[in-house]
Amino acid sequence: MYSFKPQEQSELITGFLRDQLSGHMAVIGVSGGVDSALVLALLSRAIPAERIVAVHLPETDRQGADYQDVMELSKATGVPVEMKPISGIAESFYRNLGVTDTRAAGNIKSRIRMVILYYLANINDGLVIGTTNRTEYVTGYYTKYGDGACDVEPIMHLLKFQVREMAKFLGVPESIIMKKPSAGLWENQTDEDEMGMTYEEVDEAIIRIFDRKEPPSGENDRKIMEMYSRSQHKRRMPASLLS
């Protein structure tokens, strides 16, 4: 791994957020995971809390561990977070479309959350703030037009281990930092189980291949390059004949 200075990054990102928002409200979905927690903590340092519209968009209206973590984060940052369950909207989609595929259902949930965030941005003269980190961006581990849809991406240059380091530095609750990362697309889903490797292994491979320009070697490197290649469409503008 390489040298990382959380204080410098905090100053860089908060300045970036202030410049990008330029008087607009900031709209953010807060899942209970470390990425959105870090972004909310950074936003709370960049602009006043009254200019932040933060929402927790769980699948059900049960107040589980994620909800408790979000409330702790709200206290730590001083930013109110409203809970808006998406179960009724999602069930309507599933029923009308006859959805049976688990992965497709997960992507629908992610895109429902995007629609809600953009609705809130519309009515508040706001910009949607993304929470995708560099590890997810390189591997394509996000939903196209779902959690990948936003106006500003403040942590896309940070690998997962850097996100965790910054979260500790900024006082994000320990329960969030230590939680197993999950996109919350289906029950008991975790990122690392789905990828077949830990985030530490993914970060190490990204540093070797993309930063140090070392040729891929070994099974993990092969997986990373396969994920990178398969997800290229997510990082490109739509194909067109516009010159």
Contact 185, 173 (CB under 8 A): no
Residues 49-99: pLDDT tens digits?
999 999 999 998 777 889 999 999 999 999 999 999 999 999 999 999 999
Residue 188: the pLDDT is 63
**227: pLDDT strictly greater than 60:** yes
Residue 185: pLDDT band (50, 70, 90) is low
Q: Where are the domains of the chain?
A: 6-190
Residue 179: the pLDDT is 87
CATH of 6-190, one of 3.30.499.10, 3.40.47.10, 1.10.287.130, 3.40.50.620: 3.40.50.620
